[in-house]
Amino acid sequence: MPPAAPDLGLLLDVDGPIASPLTRTIAQPGIVADLCTLLAAGVPVVFNTGRSDAFLRAQVVAPLLAAGLPAGARLHAVCEKGAVWATVGRDGLGEVQVDRALAVPPVCAEVVGGLVAGRYGEAMFVDGTKRSMATVEARTDVPAGHFAQAQAAFDAELLAALTARGLGVRLGDRVVPDAGGQCPWRIDPTVIATDVESVRVGKDLGARRALELLAGDGPLPRRWHTVGDSATDYRMADQLHALGHPVTHVDVRPAGPLPPVPYPVVRDRFLRDDAAGAAHLRALVGQLA
């Protein structure tokens, strides 16, 4: 008889609900143990992050292995917003897959590196572990406001430099097509980083990869919880809903209006970020039969 479909699957943004936005590590007690408990109970878990596989390996997979990842865990990592992915087993992160069609041209890393080597290096550093994107991240040794201030100027200079090199790039509602009228690349600023990426990547692509990865190792869950701290994290729930999967989105942002979406959204009244992520996992453990 084929195995029964799991009742619940988890699709988890990492920075915010799992890793502290301050330390960029798993800082909440309980998160690792509760993930292991849920995995041991047959709950499939897929991380859906803009981070690199190297970050996932060091900051998320290593603590899970140290805690004793259960045999038979259905655990996958979708990185770089869907351009990179791997399956996690008791030997760690498996073979890393990259969709080369989604990788930015090498000139993007050159331009980003040049800007950070100049005046922007006091607020940010280049993430050298990305396989498909060019990324700068906020330094953790300067106040957060420092990065926010520098980021807007950096993003504008980056747009000017990339389009001067002939690339078609968008930044927010500014769209600068290439000579052929195309705009295949995007500058995406977030709270702690700016990514140069393909316009085809995103948390929605990550959700489709998650479904493919889970279809390869067992039955799909009957319902989903997606968890995130950004407006763009709703795209994972949007995508699952559009494909007919029942989904509830858990928004761990501290404030702001909840968007009108055609599926349930929950938010803790008091907790935010990884504290809210930890509380949600703990509640799910409590609901295990």
**Residue 60 or residue 162: which is nearer to Mg ion going by CB?**
60
Q: How far is the CB of 192 from Mg ion (least distance, A)?
A: 8
Q: Of 129, 38, 125, nearest to 80 (Cα)?
A: 129
Distance CA 206, CA 126 (A): 23
Q: How far is the CB of 165 from Mg ion (least distance, A)?
A: 30
**Residue 21 or residue 121: which is nearer to Mg ion going by CB?**
21
Q: Of 30, 45, 27, 18, nearest to 225 (Cα)?
A: 45
The residues with which 41 forms a beta bridge, in sequence order, are: none
Distance CA 211, CA 220 (A): 7
Q: Of 81, 101, 85, nearest to 93 (Cα)?
A: 85
**Residue 16 or residue 168: which is nearer to Mg ion going by CB?**
16
End-to-end CA separation in angstroms for the chain: 22
Which positions lie near Mg ion, rule CB under 5 A? 13, 15-16, 229-230
Q: How far is the CB of 206 from Mg ion (least distance, A)?
A: 12
Q: How far is the CB of 119 from Mg ion (least distance, A)?
A: 27
Supply 235's token pair: 């795209």
CB-closest chain residue to Mg ion: 16
**Residue 276 or residue 284: which is nearer to Mg ion going by CB?**
276
Cα 278 → chain centroid: 17
Supply 145's token pair: 């406001």
**Residue 17 or residue 168: which is nearer to Mg ion going by CB?**
17
**Residue 107 or residue 266: which is nearer to Mg ion going by CB?**
266
214-218: list long-range contacts, CB under 8 Å, 24+ apart: 214/9, 214/44, 214/46, 214/74, 214/76, 217/74, 217/87, 218/3, 218/6, 218/44, 218/74
